Amino acid sequence: MIQSTSALISSEDQTHIQVDNLTLRYGDRLIQENLNFEIKRKDIFVIMGGSGCGKSTLLKHMFGLLEPAEGDVRFNGVSLWQQELETRQKMMQRFGISYQAGAIISSLTLAENIAMPLELYTKLSKAEISELVSLKLMMVGLAGFEDYYSSEISGGMLKRAALARAIALEPEVLFFDEPSAGLDPLSARNLDELILTLSDSLNTTIVIVTHELASIFAIGSNSVFLDAQSKTMLTTGDPNYLLKTSKDARVQRFLRRGDYQQPKETI
């Protein structure tokens, strides 16, 4: 994204993304309802919850892959779902997305994967594209792997390549679905740090689905907690603050890895 050194637009506390009364369904099956939360510019927003509670589903509704049954998602106050398809696709070009399994296209080399959005949405020449692609690969620590296929690199490298593709168009918002799932703790931490540095210097807002407690507390500046049983969100806020103040046993148990006894209620 283009960013300015002038203080005029970099008002830090601006709301960037607003989720309004969102209801998620697959056909008749209700996944989540009554979701309401706000994400500020430059937030690293964590979507938490147990497996199968609908985190990936919520993410897909936020970046425009699935249409909500009810409610809306607003970016800078502009509704995503009340747009014509074409306008919506323009908005979606400003998103960078890294899917749960990497989703690096296996018949293309890493360089071709990253060049794809640039070829589709910009008028840059071949040389310019390859210069940008190399830079993006350098940024994620994959310099020299331009001509490799996804089947020839390790899981951690695949996630990095997916990250490089996500930032190819310098997006305003980056969406991550379990970026560190399946990585060893060290690689997971390296990836977290990479995400943190990139978002800090690119001025991006980040929405991330993760189970990793370490990541949640280390990088999350805001969060929402989804629950599978009540099919709605339990709470939203800074995860560190939630850990200290939340009275909800389900949230506490999740944040403390199950190590939580409900305080005895006085009768």
Ligand X SMILES: Nc1ncnc2c1ncn2[C@@H]1O[C@H](COP(=O)(O)OP(=O)(O)O)[C@@H](O)[C@H]1O
Applying CB under 8 A, the residues found at the interface with other proteins are: 1-6, 8, 106-107, 122-125, 128, 131-132, 135-136, 138-139, 141-145, 149-151, 154, 156-157, 160, 170, 186-187, 190, 194, 197-198, 200-203
In terms of Cβ atoms closer than 10 Å to its own Cβ (0-12, 13-18, 19+), residue 186 is: exposed
Q: Which of 18, 23, 56, 203 binds Mg ion (CB under 5 A)?
A: 56
Does 101 contact ligand X by CB under 6 A? no
In the complex with other proteins, the residue whose CB is nearer, 70 or 131, is 131
CB nearest Mg ion: which residue?
56
Measured distance CA(69)–CA(78) in Å, rounded: 18
Q: Which of 3, 52, 90, 230 binds ligand X (CB under 6 A)?
A: 52
CB 62, min distance to Mg ion, A: 13
Which two structure tokens, joined as six digits, stand for 144?
């020299």
What's the order of all strands across the beta sheet hosting 205-209? Answer: 95-98, 173-177, 205-209, 44-48, 222-227, 232-236
**HSE, side-chain direction, 13 A CA sphere, residue 161:** 30
Query: Taking contact as CB under 6 A, which single stretch among the options 49-57, 115-123, 143-151, 248-256 is the one that binds ligand X?
Result: 49-57
Which two structure tokens, joined as six digits, stand for 90?
């323009």
Q: Which of 37, 39, 44, 54 binds ligand X (CB under 6 A)?
A: 54
- Which DSSP string corresponds to 7-29? TTT--TT-EEEEEEEEEEEETTE
Q: How, if at all, do strands 222-227 and 44-48 pair?
A: parallel
CB 66, min distance to ligand X, A: 8
The item of ligand X, other proteins, Mg ion, none sharing an interface with residue 7, based on CB under 5 to 8 Å by kind, is none
Residue pair 207/47 in contact by the 8 Å Cβ criterion: yes
Nearest Cα to Cα of residue 209 among 195, 230, 229, 194: 195
Q: How far is CA 192 from CA 1, 27, 75, 176, 213, in A?
A: 21, 35, 25, 11, 12
The item of ligand X, Mg ion, other proteins, none sharing an interface with residue 171, based on CB under 5 to 8 Å by kind, is none
CB 61, min distance to other proteins, A: 26
In the complex with other proteins, the residue whose CB is nearer, 27 or 144, is 144
The item of Mg ion, ligand X, other proteins, none sharing an interface with residue 131, based on CB under 5 to 8 Å by kind, is other proteins
Does 56 contact ligand X by CB under 6 A? yes
Binding map of ligand X across residues 2-31, x = CB under 6 A, - = no contact:
------------------------x----x
Does 61 contact ligand X by CB under 6 A? no
